[in-house]
Structure 1
């Protein structure tokens, strides 16, 4: 029995990460796979497997989960906050469930194939919608928004993972698989550009800059790093200009179509971030926070009082938009202690893995996405944070990352 479970277990874990983007279509299957993994785990795990968890970053992340439980329970808001806390628990649980898996390359392959499947599905939808409407448009068009398998933010994140993994798998010397990884990089990069996933593009530019600090130091690498940093700053100012243009556009047209309204992500974030800052100023220093549900209530109150455009105000109030920033969310909902633990986890992880490109890149991706998204408000976000944690613990066990290559 144990031999059979040991043979099935890695593929169940692989399948879980393969089908994550299809959660809306096969919602029950990820939960079924998690149940199978939890049932099989006690039968196949070995004592030495738990050594993988003996790292300060993992201990800190588990400490964050423990603190969220304690803070919520003693504040009397556990039933309201559990929906978010369980997402953090999923990320921790995935790391624990991973430890009997001997080869992380299986999960890496699942990420690559998952990204390709999501791209194929989205392109197929786009072709159908284009044929039905008789028009063709890319970027922020309604055709693209409607055809994507999952939110553009997470689809861009998945493609970024796929590009990073493929890059790490390319061998210095000729290998037949190099061609497949290069094609995968090209397909995912082209797809990111076509769907206009700005945060994914920024991540890739930052990762190119970070990569220049690994391998042999050469003058031309400094030039590449300087160029990519300049490009990131230029893209940032471009996005600020776009936000201003979108703001003027929405002020002129009081009731824009729903798909345009949904695409104004930067205006949305500027509004919710301003409200989050207002709450911070009103509440002064918060040691333990308001609670995840209460934070949303306070944000809704801010939308209702601060937004003068009636259509926009009704939209923000009905959607109950969260802070769209994980750092804001931890501070407002669980207080300074939670934010401090989370930041300590990030800093400690960076220090422990600073000599290795892959975990450093994963941390950079986590930080950038935490600036624009509450990653623990979506189960999909929890799965991908779990993947980042898995990369951290597997990379942390080697003194030298054999995958680091010269550009």
Structure 2
């Protein structure tokens, strides 16, 4: 029985990460796979497997989860905040459930194929919608937004993972698989550009910059670093100069308006308003040690939308959608206080110093920081799954660092 479960277990993990983007279409399979992994875990795990968890970054992340749970329980808001804390638990759980898996390459392959499947699905939807509307547009167009399998931000994150994994897998000497990895990099990069995922494009430029600090120092690397830095600064200035407060475009005449399913999918720059409300709440609350809770944070944001947004239609939109802070750092400070934010920042900083000699995990941390700046990754189940993947990368990288130190001794 144990031999059979040990053989099935890694493929269950692989299948889970393969179908994550389809979670909104197939709610049951991911939960079933998680249940299978939980049930099989005691039968396949070995005592030595738990050594993989002996790293300071993982210990800090576990401390963060424990703090969120205890803080909410003592404040009497556990029932309200459980939905959020459960997402953090998923990330922690995936890291723990991973430890019996011997080969992380299986999960990497699942990420690559998952990204390709999501791209194919999105392209298929785009063709259908373009045919139905009779118009063709890319970038921020309603057709693109509606056709994507998941939110553009998370699809861009998945493609960024796929590019990074493929780049890391390319061998310096000729290997037939190099062609497949290069093709995958090209496909995902073109897709990111076509769907206009700004944060994904910026992330890729930052990763190019970071990579120049690894390997031999050569003049062409300095040139690439300078170009990448210039591109990142340029993109930042462009985004900064965009009118963040222009949340709605002028309404077109009814006869020229696109179908309702297109109108409902349109996305706008809303972070300027959300961040302004979050800043106002911070100023009103003053120094916050333990936070006001994740649900209460949303309630206060909604109150801000009702009073600070002058346009009634815009105010109603924000109130109805109950937009969150759109920054995991802001959310941790408001909801879990200074202690919660400190633990999360400590996890990132300690992780960096643990794996700084390795490009792949360092790049993963950079991606985590950039996405947490503009998104509440723990408010979505797909975000929790991908944070779990980053934790898995950190576990394997810390283990490699430990093995290298042993060899050096």
TM-score, reference length from structure 2: 0.94
Give 1:284's aligned residue. 286
Residue 253 of structure 1: how far off its partner (Å): 5.3
Give 2:395's aligned residue. 393
Residue 250 of structure 1: how far off its partner (Å): 3.5
Give 1:374's aligned residue. 376
Give 1:250's aligned residue. 248
How far apart, CA to CA, are the structure 2 residues paired with 1:30 and 1:76?
31
Give 1:405's aligned residue. none
Q: Alpha-carbon deviations, 1:110-133, whole Å to 9, x = none?
A: 000000000000001111111112
1:18-29 correspondence to structure 2 within 5 Å: 18-29=18-29
- The answer on 1:359 being equivalent to 2:357 is no
- The answer on 1:219 being equivalent to 2:204 is no
Q: Alpha-carbon deviations, 1:253-287, whole Å to 9, x = none?
A: 5999886786554x300110010000000000000
TM-score, reference length from structure 1: 0.95
Give 1:340's aligned residue. 342
Please, which of 271, 274, 294 is the counterpart of residue 273 of structure 2?
271
Q: Alpha-carbon deviations, 1:233-258, whole Å to 9, x = none?
A: 111111223335x72x8376599988
1:16-165 correspondence to structure 2 within 5 Å: 16-165=16-165
How far apart, CA to CA, are the structure 2 residues paired with 1:184 and 1:390?
22
1:296-311 correspondence to structure 2 within 5 Å: 296-311=298-313
Give 2:10's aligned residue. 10
State how many pairs are aligned.
Answer: 399
Segments of structure 1 that go 5 or more residues without pairing to the other structure are 403-407
RMSD of aligned C-alpha atoms?
Answer: 1.9
How far apart, CA to CA, are the structure 2 residues paired with 1:112 and 1:252?
40
Q: Alpha-carbon deviations, 1:197-226, whole Å to 9, x = none?
A: 000000000000000000001122112111
How far apart, CA to CA, are the structure 2 residues paired with 1:197 and 1:91?
24
Segments of structure 2 that go 5 or more residues without pairing to the other structure are 405-409
Task: From the superposition, tell whether residues 260 and 205 of structure 1 become closer, same or farther in structure 2 (CA, over 3 Å).
Answer: farther
Give 1:204's aligned residue. 204
Give 2:187's aligned residue. 187
How far apart, CA to CA, are the structure 1 residues paired with 2:31 and 2:299?
30
| Partner SS, residue 213 of structure 1 | coil
How far apart, CA to CA, are the structure 2 residues paired with 1:401 and 1:219?
32
Give 2:329's aligned residue. 327
| Partner SS, residue 137 of structure 1 | coil
How far apart, CA to CA, are the structure 2 residues paired with 1:180 and 1:253?
45
Contact 2:355 2:361 in 1 (8 A): yes
Task: From the superposition, tell whether residues 354 and 370 of structure 1 become closer, same or farther in structure 2 (CA, over 3 Å).
Answer: same
